[in-house]
Amino acid sequence: MQKIIILDFGSQTTQLIGRRVRELDTFCEILPYNKYPEDDSDVIGVILSGSPYSVHDPEAFKVDLTRFVGRLPVLGICYGAQFISHTLGGKVEKTDSREYGRANLETIDLTNPLFKGFDRGSQVWMSHGDTITRIPDGFQVIGSTKDVQNAAFWCPGDKLVHCKCSNGQSVWAVQFHPEVYHTLQGTQLLKNFVVDICGSRQEWSAASFVDTTVAELKAQLGQDRVILGLSGGVDSSVAAVLLNKAIGNRLTCIFVDHGMLRKNEFQQVMDDYRVLGLNVIGVDASEKFFADLAGVTEPEQKRKIIGRDFVEVFNQEAKKITDARWLAQGTIYPDRIESLNITGKVIKSHHNVGGLPKEMHLQLCEPLKWLFKDEVRRVGRQLQMPEHLITRHPFPGPGLAVRILGDITREKVRILQDADDIYIRGLREYVDTDGETLYNKVWQAGAVLLSTVRSVGVMGDERTYENPVALRAVTSTDAMTADWAHLPYDFLAKVSNEIINKVRGVNRVCYDISSKPPATIEWE
């Protein structure tokens, strides 16, 4: 299959480049800057990402451009553009001030294939500390802003004298970020590069993924039995339906209830899975989880206990399936990217990444490992799964345990489940002025119980001293960054009133207006 290689130099927006390319129905692979493939026969183009480094830093990441420059179309973005210029004989210098924010391409070569369909003065987004003061010999400027002369430049393949192996493929470079929302025609630029310049046949789609993956699963798994841990979330659910389509009842799913799911969620999810025809074992292990969490208040310790207990419970059930040969997981592409930095060292442990318990002696199957979250949802729709499963908000593995400040008790979980249920039902029922429900307009929402805090209130003629609840709702595309959702005041007023009136133990409701960063989506 055709693919675009994106070499990651450590930019926070590298994943966005990948998502934009995938939205063009083109497969792409994000690789560390130093992991360019030995066999690139299926590669049709290369994109170099931004980076937190300057090209002059001793620790700056470097790649051998001669491996692909001249052989394949290349697009350098921000640091990628500066690295191309610096390496091929141009000049990159420190600026007096960081160039950050919106700018406009006041000069633009609309005849260049990279800028086909662009408007004069098109808005772009800058984010760099260095600037390119001289481009390499043979290159031509094709875009400038008021403050950045060399905002975009290229070298036609027939003038590329910097690489002995050149076969006439051109190089483009832009100092702005076409992948971010604030570059208004960034998608058009990437389309010009990926489709028109690189020649993508745009064959990557949900339908093609389902057909190809089902065939690959049949070949990979044969007649073997597979175990899959379900969470109720969209990733594991789509993985289960794909596997079921490939191997049928040779798939056994295990759904563990740790007691900290949303209100009535365990039974609702079990019912959904049965409707889908999945072979599911439901395990109520809440007694064990509550016992092991008793008195624990430190967030990371809570997470570790829940993770450890989940593995123990899951393994106990999995061992009963004596002829199983594979363990399937709903690992998606961002899980794998976030778990490794560009030097290949682990920087974030993810529950779906890192291998299997040695005592299980199972091989790993990850049918969604190349998909972004929005692609998983498109595959779910292609598989005709219920929409409420596909659009379900992300929910943390430790469940409500990381939405309760302090120690965990059944009573605190009961309070939070009741408050959260009112909040989520309200989001599903409230139709905004554009005809869309609030639930579908936010990325993730949930209630948080501030059980380490007490608040004075008055209910009737009596003084109360009970818990506040904080409501959280964020908008995002990938959870790497998130902004607080601007929910209507009348909705917040109605939900607040209903929670205080109906949930015993709560006398105050707050709304969290923190963005990520600096805050995280979850409170713990």
The sign one gets for the Cα dihedral 65, 67, 70, 73 is: negative
Dihedral angle of Cα 259, 260, 262, 266, to the nearest 10 degrees: -30
Catalytic residue among 86, 128, 162, 177: 177
Residue (of 198, 205, 194) closest to 21 by Cα position? 194
The sign one gets for the Cα dihedral 209, 215, 217, 220 is: negative
Catalytic residue among 78, 155, 198, 253: 78
Q: Are 151 and 105 in contact (CB under 8 A)?
A: yes
Q: DSSP characters for 122-153?
A: -EEEEEEEEEEEEPPTT-EEEEE-SS-S-SEE
Report the DSSP beta bridge partners of residue 126. 101, 176
Reported as type and span, the H/E element at residue 284 is: strand 280-284
Q: How many CB atoms lie within 10 A of CB 366?
A: 17
Tokens of 334: 């961002």
Q: Are 136 and 161 in contact (CB under 8 A)?
A: no
3-state SS, 67-88, equals: HCECCECEEEECHHHHHHHHHC
Dihedral angle of Cα 92, 95, 98, 100, to the nearest 10 degrees: -60
d(CA 337, CA 344): 10
Q: Give 57's contacts (C-beta < 8 A, 6+ positions apart).
A: none
**3-class DSSP state of 367:** coil
Residue (of 332, 444, 430) closest to 378 by Cα position? 332
Type of residue found at 267? Q
Q: How many CB atoms lie within 10 A of CB 322?
A: 7
Based on the residue annotation, tell me whether 56 is a catalytic residue of this protein. Answer: no
d(CA 423, CA 471): 8
Based on the residue annotation, tell me whether 179 is a catalytic residue of this protein. Answer: yes
Report the DSSP beta bridge partners of residue 255. 230, 282
Q: DSSP characters for 214-229?
A: HHHHHHHHTT-EEEEE
Q: Are 524 and 403 in contact (CB under 8 A)?
A: yes
Report the DSSP beta bridge partners of residue 284. 257
Catalytic residue among 28, 128, 155, 179: 179
Catalytic residues: 78, 177, 179
